[in-house]
Amino acid sequence: MKKLLFTAACLLTLSVGSIAQSGSGDLDSRVATVTRDMSVKLGLNESDYIRLKNINRENMVKADEIANSYKNDASMRTQKLQELQTSYDAQLRTFLNNKQMEAYASYKTTGGNFTALEGDKK
């Protein structure tokens, strides 16, 4: 579990750098791409897609803020990104059903695009 969190934090940290370098057009594109991918794999309806897209956008912005605020303190940056990931998971639990949460958990263990903070692996 610790290894998974560490790996996720590292991936988040790396992807945050790319978010920080991109403009809002790139942000919109990444939000749409990640949300579409997750929507298909989680089997979301239109209403849930919209909720997920808003959560993904919010989390990308927060990750960027964390990266900028803690760019000289890797351990604090990692801790804050882990807290953000925990919050993200909790937000998803508010509207995903059990089957969708299982699919989301599968993403996390297989290294798929399970968060809006992780870059595309294509």
Residue 77 and residue 4: Cα distance in Å, rounded? 17
Q: How far apart are CA 56 and CA 116, in angstroms?
A: 5
- The confidence score (pLDDT) of residue 108 equals 78
Residue with tokens 């790396």: 14
What are the tens digits of pLDDT across the range 56-72?
A: 999 999 998 999 999 99
pTM comes to 0.71
Q: How far is the C-alpha of 59 from the C-alpha of 55, rounded, in Å? A: 6
pLDDT score recorded for residue 10: 47
Name the stretches of the chain with pLDDT < 70.
1-24, 111-122
Q: What is the pLDDT of residue 19?
A: 46
